[in-house]
Structure 1
């Protein structure tokens, strides 16, 4: 005789696997690496500094 299956746990495991698959897909589509985020942050900071340096004082 086979073991009984807890259908509630099986459903939750199936849903969890689907959510993880969706999260992995989103990470590939929209995610950026830490290095890319850091480079973008440094670039934005440099652009802001350059803009501030060229402003006229009133």
Structure 2
């Protein structure tokens, strides 16, 4: 019964490097955009919210008589 010998220190370091790379990829996706890309996305989001707000059937204020 012979198993593979594993250096636990190297395994931990490898796992930590992988986690650090995953976190870096997430940060690149979140923060790695140009100013023009951010402005384009912000404008699209604003246009979408205005479009949705313009098509609401009811207002946000309660209807009826006050008690």
- What range describes the TM-score normalised by the shorter chain of this pair? 0.5 to 0.7
Hey, what does 2:9 align to over in structure 1? Answer: 8
Shift of 1:11: 0.3
Q: How does 1:1-58 map to 2 (within 5 A)?
A: 1-32=2-33, 36=34
Which structure's residues are more often helix, by fraction?
1
How large is the RMSD of aligned CA atoms in angstroms? 1.5
Segments of 4+ in structure 1 off by > 3 A?
Answer: none
Matched residue count:
35
Q: Give TM-score scaled by structure 1 length.
A: 0.54
Residue deviations 1:1-58 (CA, integer Å, cap 9, x gap): 11110000000000000000000000000002xxx46x6xxxxxxxxxxxxxxxxxxx
